[in-house]
Structure 1
Amino acid sequence: MTTALLTHADCLSHKTPPGHPEQVARLEHVLHALEGLDLQRVTAPMAAEDDLLRIHPARYLDDLRRALPGEGIKQLDSDTWMSPGSLDAAFRGAGAAVRAVDMVLNGDVGNAFCATRPPGHHAETETSMGFCLFGNAALAAKHALDHHGLKLVAVVDFDVHHGNGTQDLLWDEKRALVITSQQMPLWPGTGDPEEDGAHGNVMNLPLAPESTGAAMRDVYSEQAFPRLRAFKPELIILSAGFDAHKDDPLAQLQWETEDFRWLTAQLCALAQDLCQGRIVSTLEGGYDLNALAEAAKAHVEELIKAAT
C-alpha cells in the first residue's frame, strides 16, 4: 500500500492580495517539499455539486457563484477573497477530499494527503470566512458516512486556529467525533471546551499562547487519544494545519517540526489499531513558507511510513 497525494494546478489560480498570508506560494512550497517522496500522485477532480450539498445549501453555492469576479479580486469579508479562479480551486479541494475518501475506503491506497487551497475548516454552513470557502474535512466525513455507509468517523484538527467551520458543519452529526486543538485566545474566538456538540460529539482542546509541543503531547495523550480509542472510528480525517509552528507569524504556539511528526505518527498508530490505518489528511493553515514546507513534509513522511 502507498500514500496518495491529491492536488491540482487549479489550486494555484486562487489569488489573494499582495501580502496576504494565504498565498499561492504556500502550495508551491508544499509541493516542492514533497517532490521525490514515494507517493501515488492523483489529479484532484472537481467536486460534484451533490457532494457539496451534503454540507452546504444550494443558496450558499449560488451566492459564491454570484460573488465570483470576472477579473481582479473581490473581498468577501475582512480576510477572505475571491479571484476568477477561486471557485475552481475550491471545487478541486472539495473534490480531492471526496476522492481521497474513496481511494482509502476502497483499499486503493493506505492513506491520503490533499495538498489543495483555499483551506476549509473555517467555512461554516452558509458563511465563508478565515480564507475558507468549502468545509473540506466535514465534507470528507459526510461522504464517508452517507456514501460509503460508515457508522463512525473522527475528524482531528491540529491547526492553530479553531476549526469553527468543521464544528458548525458536524455539530448535529452524532456519527462524527470532532477533536480540535487550538491556541486560545486567538481568532476566531471559538473553541471553548463547553462547545461540545449536540450529542457530546465535539472535543475542544484549547492551548495557551507560547505553549510548546510538550504541552500538546500531554493534551493529546491524556485527552484526545483516549477519546478516539473509546469512539472507535472507521476512518480518521485530519485537518492538517501547520501554523502552530514556532515560526508562524499568525499565532504564538511554539511547536517544532518534530512535534508535527510525533503527532502524525501517533495518529497513524491509532488508526492502525482502530480502522486499518485509514486516514485522509487535508491541508489547512501554515503561513511561514519554510516552516510550512518542512512540517508538511514531516507529516507526509509519517503517512508514507504508516502506509507501507
Structure 2
Amino acid sequence: MRAQSNPLLLKWYNAFMRLSNRALSPLVQHASDVHLPLRGECRAGQVYLVGAGSGDAELLTLKAARLLRQADAVVYDRLVGDDVLALIPHRSERYYVGKARGHHSVPQAEIGELMVKLAREGKSVVRLKGGDPSVFARMGEELDALAAAQIPAAIVPGITAASAAAASMGIPLTDRGHAQQLRFVTAQLCREDGTPDWTSLARKDETLVFYMGLSKVSAICQGLRQAGLPDEWPIMLVANASQPEQQSLVASLASMPEKLAAHPLPSPCLIVVGSVVQRVATTPVALASEFISPQEITP
C-alpha cells in the first residue's frame, strides 16, 4: 500500500523525510557556499563590447557582471537598466552615449573615437549596449573603428529583447505546431528603397520579430496584410520587456493600429507577429521575472 493512500502512513512518511533531510543537511553544499566560476580580468587598453540584456539585472551574464565590476571606464547606452548600471563601482569612469529616436546625443563616429581614446590611455573599457551587442546595435561599426586604431576588442553576448519578451509573456519564439523559422527584422525601413520585402515576410510558418518599430506598427500591419497574411493573424507588442514597467498589447493585424492608438505603449517596444502569439492566453506558466505584472490587452 502506498503511504500516500493512508493518513497514518503518510504522517510517518513525512516525519521520516524530515528527519532524513536534517541528518543529511550537513553533507549538502548550500547555495551560499558555491563559488561561481568567474575568472579573468579586464585588460588595460582593451575594449569589451558587452550586452546588457533586456534591463533585468538578473538576466545579465556572469561575465558581463564581472567585467562591469572590473572596468576602468564604461561607455553605455540609453536602454541599459538602472539595476545594471548600479553594478558599476564608483571608481569607474562613466560615459553616457545614448540614442533616442530622432535624437543622437553622441554621433556614432564620436563613440568610436571615445573608445579608442580611453583604450589608448591604458584603461580597460566596457562598451555596454542594451540587449545583445550583435543585434541591431551597430556593433560592426564599432568593431571597425577599434580595428582601424589597432585596439583589441572582445564581444560578450547578452539576452536580446526578443528572447526576453517571449519569456516574460510565457510563449516560445518557435514551436513545431506554429513556427519552424524565426526572423529578426529592423523596422527602421533604412534600406535604399525604404520598404521591406513584405512578400518574403508574410509567411505563416515563422515568427517575425520587429525591433524599433513602435512608430511603424500601422505600416507593418498593412504591409503584411497586403502581402497575404490574413486580417486575423496575431500580433503582439511588448514594451520594456522583463522590467517592472513591462506592458503588452495583443491583437490582430487588422485591429492592432486602432488598439495601439487607444492604448499607447512606451518605447522601447518589440513587435512579434505569428501564430505563437496565440499561446499568450493559453500557456499556464509564470512570468520569467517574479516582480512583473504586465498590463495585457487582448483582442
Query: TM-score, normalised to structure 2's length?
Result: 0.30
Richer in strand (by share) = 2
Larger Rg: 2
Report which structure shows greater RCO (CA 8 Å, sep ≥6): 1
Higher-helix-fraction structure = 1
